[in-house]
Structure 1
């Protein structure tokens, strides 16, 4: 994993185009009446960079064998007495099922706990998204709730299962636990 960069444009666009049919069921969409989602990669990177400077987002590129393979973003970072955030991600179907995303999520969680100083990370997953459910299963995250009509995905408000992990649960890091 590394920070998402403007220079990822061609690789990001290529991955999104190749995987459009695979990802459409899981992609966030703008609800009616809300500002439109970024229409270009440059706009997306610019918005993510602004949010990163404000301390509310950490956008990462996921690479496999030196090739761009997906994106992982720590969103909605809350400070104060909460110290938590959410994680969202997508992966190129060509590398799915090889343990890439569990490793990337573990690395991101460890970064949030050990460097950023967060206490809790949450993952929201649509109940029918078996691939993402497998990610949290491999990581040993606990289901903490069910949120009806939680996020606007694929053109409608969708239910999500909620998973979370706290810093105390992984004193030696989530990546270390995954590798054991």
Structure 2
């Protein structure tokens, strides 16, 4: 199995995806400020200073370290013709090796960029990188609230299969919320090789 690092920058037809770096602080602060109300329904509660520039810088620095260590991979993305304005992010956390070879997928997209197929495009690129020779995950898992039709449609379009329901899974928007669990298996995984 390869322990090589995934690409820091990914390109798609319309998107530029970049690994965390403190140089993205202002763009991340702007992205989060523009979308705070939009994401509130789907995100857990955050501390009061969570979106402050210093806190964002600290999380980006931690994200750089996690990316380099192979414990989590986040890509912030923008349109290729407007690289300074972030419109989304894809995050793979809890990267497990050994017999599991799994990661937990999360993502968000700017409210003004919805309905254009941009999240599917970003996820295709990131999944290809995660299932490719550099990272070589066997499985990617995602959890989504049943009422989040857009997110469910994205996962289903990419071939994720629903595996079950996790009741009262996360505390979001004032309540414990059920989540459907989806997973995508790497079709290139070599079953006869030990992880």
Higher share in helix: 1
- Please tell me whether residue 63 in structure 1 is matched to residue 78 in structure 2: yes
Please say if residues 21 and 63 of structure 2, whose CA atoms lie closer than 8 Å, have aligned partners that are also in contact.
no
Contact 1:38 1:44 survives alignment (8 Å): no
User: Any gaps of 5 or more consecutive residues in structure 2?
Assistant: 1-16, 189-195
Give the alignment's Cα RMSD to 1 decimal. 1.9
Does structure 1 residue 79 correspond to structure 2 residue 97?
yes
| 1:19 aligned to which of 32, 35, 38 | 35
**Inter-CA distance 95–52: structure 2 relative to 1 (3 Å threshold):** same
Aligned partners of 2:71 and 2:93 also within 8 Å = yes
Q: TM-score, normalised by structure 1?
A: 0.83
Aligned counterpart, 1:51: 66
Q: Secondary structure at the match of 2:57?
A: helix
Q: Cα–Cα, structure 1 residues 113 and 84, in superposed 2: closer, same or farther, change >3 Å?
A: same
What is the total number of aligned residue pairs between the two structures?
164
Aligned position for 2:121:
103
Equivalent in the alignment of 2:9:
none
**Which of 96, 100, 108 pairs up with 1:90?**
108
The structure having more radius of gyration, on CA atoms, is 2
**Runs of at least 4 residues of structure 1 off by over 4 A?**
none
Where 2:131 maps in the other structure, the secondary structure is helix
**Once structures 1 and 2 are overlaid, which stretch shifts more, 87-96 or 130-139?**
130-139
Cα displacement string for residues 20-42 of structure 1 (whole angstroms, at most 9, x for unaligned residues)? 11111111336xxxxx6972211
42-51 or 129-138, larger mean C-alpha shift: 42-51
Alpha-carbon deviation of 1:163?
Answer: 0.8
Q: Please report how far the alpha carbon of residue 4 of structure 1 lies from its aligned counterpart in structure 2 after TM superposition.
A: 2.2
Q: Verify: 1:7 aligned to 2:26, yes or no.
A: no
Matched, 1:126 2:150: no
Is the alpha carbon distance of 1:155 and 1:5 closer, same or farther for their aligned partners in structure 2, counting shifts above 3 Å? farther
Once the two structures are TM-superposed, the CA of residue 140 in structure 1 deviates from its matched residue by 2.3
User: What is the alpha-carbon distance in structure 1 between the residues aligned to residue 20 and residue 87 of structure 2?
Assistant: 12
